[in-house]
Amino acid sequence: MSRGNGQIRFTSNQAVIESFAGATPGGGTISIEGGAALSGLVPVQWRLEAKADQMGVEYPKDTQTVLDAQVTLEGNRKLQVLSGNAQVRRAAYTRDLTLEELITTGGPFQPDFLETGPGGSGGPSGLPTVLDLHITADNTLIVKNNLADALGSAYINLRGNTDTPQASGRILLTRGTLNFRNGRYDLTRALITIPGRRGAEPTIDFQAESDIRGYHISINFNGTIARLQTSVRSDPELPEPDIVSLILTGSISGGDRSTIAGLGQTGLGLAQSILSASLSEQLERGTQRLFGLSRFSIDPLLVGRGNDPTARITIGQRIAKDLTVTYSQNLTSGVSGIDRVVLVEYRLSNRFSVVGIRNERGELGFDVRFRKKF
């Protein structure tokens, strides 16, 4: 707070704030009223009420927030309580994240994201302070970074003491998109539940959908980051390994059933595959810019013929608006040599496309894909 101006009236046993106003970070204002009972000019009991308008803070962690608040601080020389409500005008989380960081550390889903106070982690104070704060953000929560562009709401309660606050509540993303492996996924459900226990991990319940190569793909994430459960489905229906291949590489396995079986036998879940794919993400972006390719990817955890784990490199170029050519091959040679796949896709519309394929065995064919909702 800066540029404060006010008037305090003292008597023999009390101090009363008759008027006080000041400026807050971010260009907001704050007004305070109330008073304290005195004993020998030492406060022994007090009650202060503050009203903030458009106050800027960094809370939660790495989030720039502008809010209005009405809070009350009352107590005595043994204990004080800070209670009240805050209405968020705008909260923007714009920090870029890698998928590796998100999966290994939790990113904004780690417990101290909400339990760290504005400007730092807080510290011990001479007088214990108990929190009872309620934070509401109705469609004013913005997430905009390299992974997501979303709008949502938040309803958070902060309790406990200021040194070790406990957050509980929920965050709901009402609409937005996720970006992964050069693909865009629409959020159809996104709920983050924050348990009211210190250090407990939030639980996420996400569903995202996208159209890839004529297939409508749905991905579900449920659980904590440390114990994330994933499931996928497609329309028209595909085996799960083919759906994972579509998500990670943008194409399916060309009809090789041994590849599908081998992928299932490796026990590689979707979350682990996403983590492995993220390790090559920065290299891929740099190579795309250097050579002007529409697509360049290295998929480190795929299974070739003979169920041998291998890596696959994929290069794609958009020749015209609706015409794409993709070439893919394994980086190691198995018992049958190097698997090479060529795919040419011509999209007549979002629902209808024609795909020419040369698969791993050198066979030529084509697919006509038509998607219709019932």
Is 29 in the same domain as 66? no
Q: What is the pLDDT of residue 35?
A: 94
Task: Check whether 49 has a pLDDT greater than 90.
Answer: yes
What is the share, in percent, of the chain residues with pLDDT greater than 70?
72
Is 207 in the same domain as 130? yes
d(Cα 42, Cα 264) in Å, to the nearest integer?
72
Task: Check whether 117 has a pLDDT greater than 70.
Answer: no
| Domain assignment of residue 221, yes or no | no
Is 27 in the same domain as 68? no
List own/partner pairs for 318-323 with CB under 8 A and 24 or more apart: 318/294, 322/346, 322/347, 322/348, 323/347
Domain end, chosen from 157, 184, 212, is at: 212
Residues in contact with 53: Cβ distance below 8 Å, sequence separation at least 6, in sequence order: 28, 29, 30, 68
Q: What is the pLDDT of residue 99?
A: 63
Query: How many domains are there within the chain?
Result: 3
d(Cα 60, Cα 8) in Å, to the nearest integer?
34
| Domain assignment of residue 325, yes or no | yes
Is 78 in the same domain as 205? yes
Which pair of tokens denotes residue 162?
Answer: 């200021």
Task: Report whether 141 contacts 176 (CB < 8 A).
Answer: no
Task: Check whether 292 has a pLDDT greater than 80.
Answer: no
Give the tens place of pLDDT for each residue, 60-88.
888 899 999 999 999 998 999 999 999 99
| Domain assignment of residue 102, yes or no | yes
pLDDT-derived band at 170, boundaries 50, 70, 90: very high
Cis amide leading into 108 (omega within 30): no
- Kindly give the residue spans of alpha helices, DSSP state H, lying in 32-162: 99-105, 112-115
Is 67 in the same domain as 206? yes
DSSP H or E segment with residue 285: helix 281-291
Give the tens place of pLDDT for each residue, 274-291.
555 554 554 455 545 544
| Domain assignment of residue 228, yes or no | no
Task: Check whether 256 has a pLDDT greater than 50.
Answer: no
Of residues 123 and 184, which shows the higher confidence score?
Answer: 184
Is 37 in the same domain as 101? no
Task: Check whether 260 has a pLDDT greater than 80.
Answer: no
CA angle 229, 233, 236 (to 5 degrees): 175
Is 206 in the same domain as 256? no
Range of the structural domain that residue 99 is part of: 59-212
Is 178 in the same domain as 253? no
Q: Where are the beta strands (DSSP E) in 195-339?
A: 203-212, 215-223, 229-235, 295-303, 309-320, 323-330
Is 29 in the same domain as 65? no
Q: What are phi and psi of 236, to 5 degrees?
A: -60, 160
Q: What is the mean pLDDT of the chain?
A: 78
Q: Where are the beta strands (DSSP E) in 145-212?
A: 148-161, 165-180, 183-194, 203-212
Residue that has been written with the tokens 């169920």 in this structure: 307
What is the share, in percent, of the chain residues with pLDDT greater than 90?
29
Is 175 in the same domain as 282? no
Span 351-368, mean pLDDT? 83
| Domain assignment of residue 357, yes or no | yes
Task: Report whether 142 contacts 90 (CB < 8 A).
Answer: yes
| Domain assignment of residue 207, yes or no | yes
Domain end, chosen from 158, 185, 212, is at: 212
| Domain assignment of residue 239, yes or no | no
Task: Check whether 151 has a pLDDT greater than 60.
Answer: yes
Is 42 in the same domain as 68? no
Is 198 in the same domain as 63? yes
| Domain assignment of residue 354, yes or no | yes
